[in-house]
Chains A and B, each alone.
Chain A
């Protein structure tokens, strides 16, 4: 094949920061929402759980049922995408060499992280819109006073679980990540204060579960979305602590491949 002289004449330079951030975040968000397993994990299962908790009387859920169910499934949605989905995606992204590929471009390292965070938050926003509409259709009447608190908690929760997801997905082999991320998700759902409230657990267990980020997020969201009040300091402190420790460790352990 012949090429016109001058076709490849060097003209190097870094793209605009905003454009790079947008391009990466959009690509990663679209990939998540196009991936069948990710959609099952992040949207379909939380929606199914929301409906089940709202209408199946056999499951113990405090009144108002739909409000309590919404708080718990919002928490599950954040855990599903920010932690499990993120960890699995990162594990396989490393396997397929994309981090190295991007690290070799003009994209600065901090922007590589920022792009993932923005993409993760965008996916959480999509999840919560779908869950909110479902809950409203089921008769949810949220107290407006708690909505801003709920948004703040969701962002904090997404960052904390995102850091945990990166910690898990950034260092181990993809298959190990896949197994662990699903096991932890299942454990948090069943005994982490999500599907069942902490109050329905034995007191000794409850004291430990209260310190888990899943219970902190679910309880904080319950306070905001059912009582319409600011979450206590406790849940916020628990999320901050988990997020900070996970992020500090992840910075040391995360590998490009």
Chain B
């Protein structure tokens, strides 16, 4: 799948502003961004639900808007918030979607996998949000698609169901299915994606593998540990190599910044020993994807 220079406006508001994406065959790409970043709009353009105002979109080599009838049998779509007749039972809905495919997966098996067997007689409108999401995921997968779009697949799910979705995405990838998913959950992107694209206000602000995005430059690493509050960090700073910094970030939580090598770790632990304290939870920290995300998109709440 290839998106280049995608622009989409709603009235005077520009939802997507020159976005580029490449999803390689059999890989997982996560679009990560705050609410209103343009993730769903981008996905819906790729699915053929919306017309782009600029740029080109090719999905499996097809134009999703003009060649939708050829494209749709080959993709699986999990729209945000799911979809079903208010009174339909999960098995009826899944069987209907399965009937639209040439060689579908067994709906009964899929319902069991997704833990919906106990709810097969419950009308759609009375399913919980998480159950609706799981049914929607089943509908996206039942046709054995080549490419799957998952728009916030784990929204409203409990931790067990989230874990199941993660396993499913892993199995899809292993079987050669390409996956485009949107999320604002960092751990989800970190756990699932080969490539992460961080979007904000309709633009790409960063992209790369999760480890590329979370890697620290070599001379700006962190060593964190916990100990008794109020230790005199000046003494430690003197013992550390030139240019390194140490401070008590919050009560009892100490952070050493700079190039962290074995010598530095040894200096810190022996300083602790001199102070008669035990350094607990000592870690050489990677940035989390959340740190990267907040750094790039800001910490203020969006209205």
Interface residue from A34, A99, A101 paired with B136 (Cβ < 8 Å) = A101
Q: A89 CB to closest chain B CB, in angstroms? A: 8
- Cβ of A58 under 8 Å from chain B: no
Give residues of chain B (26-67) contacting chain A, Cβ–Cβ below 8 Å. Answer: 47, 49
Does the CB pair A12–B73 fall under 8 Å? Answer: yes
Does the CB pair B175–A6 fall under 8 Å? Answer: yes
Q: Which residues of A contact B96 (CB under 8 A)?
A: 23-24, 27, 102
Q: A176 CB to closest chain B CB, in angstroms? A: 17
Among residues of B, the one whose C-beta sits closest to the C-beta of A94 is B83
Does the CB pair A13–B175 fall under 8 Å? Answer: no
Q: A17 CB to closest chain B CB, in angstroms? A: 10
Q: Which listed segment binds A: B164-172, B189-197, B281-289?
A: B164-172
Interface code A94-114, partner B: CB below 8 Å = 1, 0 otherwise? Answer: 011111111111111000000
Bound CA span A3–B166, Å: 12
Does the CB pair A101–B83 fall under 8 Å? Answer: yes
Does the CB pair B85–A15 fall under 8 Å? Answer: no
Does the CB pair A97–B175 fall under 8 Å? Answer: no
Q: Which residues of A contact B164 (CB under 8 A)?
A: 1
- Cβ of B218 under 8 Å from chain A: no
- Cβ of A227 under 8 Å from chain B: no
Q: A40 CB to closest chain B CB, in angstroms? A: 15
Give residues of chain B (111-156) contacting chain A, Cβ–Cβ below 8 Å. Answer: 113, 124-125, 136, 139, 141, 143-146
Total number of A residues with any Cβ neighbor in B under 8 Å: 42
Q: Which residues of A contact B104 (CB under 8 A)?
A: 15
Does the CB pair A93–B143 fall under 8 Å? Answer: no
Give residues of chain A (1-27) contacting chain B, Cβ–Cβ below 8 Å. Answer: 1-3, 5-15, 19-20, 22-24, 27
Among residues of A, the one whose C-beta sits closest to the C-beta of B26 is A10
Interface code B78-112, partner A: CB below 8 Å = 1, 0 otherwise? Answer: 01011111111000110111011111110000000
- Cβ of A92 under 8 Å from chain B: yes
- Cβ of B72 under 8 Å from chain A: yes
Does the CB pair A7–B85 fall under 8 Å? Answer: no
- Cβ of B241 under 8 Å from chain A: no
Q: How large is the interface on B (under 10, 10 to 19, 20 to 34, 35 or more residues)?
A: 35 or more
Interface residue from B99, B144, B167, B172 paired with A11 (Cβ < 8 Å) = B144
Does the CB pair A96–B144 fall under 8 Å? Answer: no
Does the CB pair A15–B88 fall under 8 Å? Answer: no
- Cβ of A31 under 8 Å from chain B: yes
- Cβ of A210 under 8 Å from chain B: no
Bound CA span A20–B100, Å: 5
Whether A96 touches B125, Cβ cut-off 8 Å, given contacts A13-B73, A104-B47, is yes
Q: A105 CB to closest chain B CB, in angstroms? A: 4
Q: A10 CB to closest chain B CB, in angstroms? A: 4
Give residues of chain A (86-145) contacting chain B, Cβ–Cβ below 8 Å. Answer: 92-93, 95-108
- Cβ of A28 under 8 Å from chain B: yes
Q: Could you list 22 examples of A-B contacts with CB < 8 Å? A: A2-B167, A7-B171, A10-B146, A10-B175, A12-B73, A14-B100, A14-B102, A15-B101, A19-B99, A23-B99, A27-B88, A31-B88, A92-B86, A93-B85, A95-B86, A101-B83, A101-B84, A101-B139, A105-B77, A105-B97, A106-B100, A107-B100
- Please name 18 further chain A to chain B contacts, defined as beta carbons within 8 Å, in addition to the given A11-B102, A96-B85, A98-B84, sorted by A numbering: A8-B172, A8-B175, A10-B176, A12-B143, A12-B144, A12-B145, A13-B103, A14-B101, A23-B95, A35-B87, A97-B82, A99-B83, A100-B79, A101-B84, A101-B139, A102-B100, A104-B72, A105-B97
